[in-house]
Amino acid sequence: MIRATLAVGVVALSTWAVAVFPRSILVFLLFQGSLLWVYLARIPRWLRATLLAAALLVLMPLIGSFNGYYLEVATQVGIFVALALGLNIVVGLAGLLDLGYVAFFAVGAYSWAIFGSPQANQIFGGGFPLAPGWFYVFLGVGLCVGAATGVLLGLPVLRLRGDYLAIVTLGFGEVIRVLANNLDKPINFTNGPKGITPIARPPVPFGLPYSEAFYFLVLLIVCVVVLVNRRLEDSHIGRAWEAIREDELAAQAMGVPLVRSKLLAFACGASFAGVMGVVFSAKQIFINPESFTFLESIGVLAMVILGGMGSIPGAVVGATVVTVLNLQVLKGFSLWLNELKNAGVTVFGMSLADLPTQLEPAKYERMIFGMILVLMMIFRPQGILPARRRARELGKP
């Protein structure tokens, strides 16, 4: 009872705090922390569900009305949660290290970007962009294209051993990026490094503003993805994947069809990325190859590793932490440092105004990703919120 009151209180308090201090990053972090706390607290199930639903469906859009940027952050978090969950299937469940995951995201994004903008006229002559309503059809198209690309990549390379597979998927990710960069000739498919714009946005019901509409759309997709993940995990296929991860030879001996199961894992993971790619391109209106670099793939990998390989809540938490770290904490620190610099503050007798101008803390995302990967591997390979099966296995002395 005390815990339940406390949980309600924490969420209410942090929401109120965000309303009072709409510009403070720390307070918004507090709000996110309170949600995690509610998830972990020992309170009745219905209360937890109600609180989380209320926070995500009502409070978050409300906060967005105080500070629109937070809603943007929440939407980005949602996109990365879906990506992390997709990669979680490939890396976490099936144990196949995929370093080119963002390629599937790119394929989805370009599929809507080309047909939802005048770009397609360059290929087919005329009649484009498609009506905005087609966006909803393209969610399905993105899913299929993503899955197909996954199978296409998987077919030749899945017989490789783990570490070779990782390098080949990395190469594949680079190939997709180089193609996106250079397929503006002989036929202009992708418009090269200049990117594609304007990409049509979908029609929105109830006259919602776009930022809110995308938030709810992403939330809906994330819910579906979580549901699919949970059903997969305990299914026949999910257990086959985990068997492959633990010991390929033993799994094969037990009658698990190796190639088919691995292909399925690749296709499932890739299809989530494909769908999110479609949403991403519509949300951004503009895409270019810069959004689909190796750095992004590693970012998603860092999310999965941080949360715990094979763990669904882990992937959600990992994606949230990394995205918020990237979008808010690093940028916030940069701004803060700049303010201090401009104010001429001195620390230890050294004026901050003398700091090198090239030193921009916001640019050090690689360092963050790198540290996450190394430290997690050395000290806590099972992640922050380990999967139950995995925790039992790694937890033994």
Partner 1 sequence: MDFQLLVDIFPQVLLDGLILGFMYALIALGYTMVYGVLEFINFAHSEIFIVGAFAGVEILLGLKGAGWLDGLPWPLVLLLLLLAGMAVSGLLAVTVERIAYRPLRSAPRLIPLISAIGVSFFLQDLIRLVESIWRNAFNLVYPTLDALNLRFELTETIDVSVKSIVVIVAALGMLWVLHLLVNRTKIGTAIRAVAEDQAAASLMGIDVNRIISLTFFIGGVMGGAAGVLFGVQYGLINPYSGFIPGLKAFTAAVLGGIGNIPGAMLGGIVLGLLEAFAASYLSLLTGGAFGAEYKDIFAFSVLILILIFRPKGLLGEIVRERA
Is 359 an interacting residue with respect to partner 1 (CB under 8 A)?
A: yes
What is the closest distance, in whole angstroms, from the C-beta atom of residue 395 to partner 1 in the complex? 15
Is 97 an interacting residue with respect to partner 1 (CB under 8 A)?
A: yes
What is the closest distance, in whole angstroms, from the C-beta atom of residue 143 to partner 1 in the complex? 26
Indicate the residue among 226 and 355 with the shorter CB distance to partner 1.
Answer: 355
Within its chain, how far is the Cα of 23 from the centroid?
A: 25
Indicate the residue among 131 and 249 with the shorter CB distance to partner 1.
Answer: 249
Residue whose C-alpha is closest to residue 120's, from 103, 138, 144: 138
Is 123 an interacting residue with respect to partner 1 (CB under 8 A)?
A: no
User: Which of 58, 224, 371, 388: binder of partner 1 (CB under 8 A)?
Assistant: 371
Q: Are 96 and 48 in contact (CB under 8 A)?
A: no
The one segment of 260-268, 270-278, 319-327, 367-375 that binds partner 1 by CB under 8 A: 367-375
10 vs 15: CA distance, rounded Å:
8
| Residue 283, C-beta contacts closer than 8 angstroms, at least 6 positions apart | 75, 79, 201, 214
Residue with tokens 């309503």: 133
> Which residues are bridge partners to 196 per DSSP?
287
Q: Count of CB atoms within 10 A of residue 391's CB?
A: 16
Is 357 an interacting residue with respect to partner 1 (CB under 8 A)?
A: yes
Residue with tokens 């993805």: 225
How far lies 105's CA from each of 36, 109, 113, in Å? Answer: 27, 6, 12
Indicate the residue among 62 and 157 with the shorter CB distance to partner 1.
Answer: 157
Binders of partner 1 among residues 296 to 325 (CB under 8 A) are: 298, 301-302, 305
User: Which of 30, 373, 384, 391: binder of partner 1 (CB under 8 A)?
Assistant: 373
Is 206 an interacting residue with respect to partner 1 (CB under 8 A)?
A: no
Is 93 an interacting residue with respect to partner 1 (CB under 8 A)?
A: no
13 vs 147: CA distance, rounded Å:
43
Is 392 an interacting residue with respect to partner 1 (CB under 8 A)?
A: no
Is 377 an interacting residue with respect to partner 1 (CB under 8 A)?
A: yes
248 vs 232: CA distance, rounded Å:
19
Is 179 an interacting residue with respect to partner 1 (CB under 8 A)?
A: yes
Q: Count of CB atoms within 10 A of residue 201's CB?
A: 17
The one segment of 75-83, 259-267, 350-358, 384-392 that binds partner 1 by CB under 8 A: 350-358
User: Which of 13, 137, 247, 353: binder of partner 1 (CB under 8 A)?
Assistant: 247
How far lies 249's CA from each of 119, 246, 252, 259, in Å? Answer: 48, 9, 5, 12
Residues lying near partner 1 in the complex (CB under 8 A): 95, 97, 99, 156-157, 159-164, 166-168, 170-172, 174-175, 178-179, 181-182, 185-186, 247, 249, 294, 298, 301-302, 305, 356-359, 363-367, 369-375, 377-378, 381
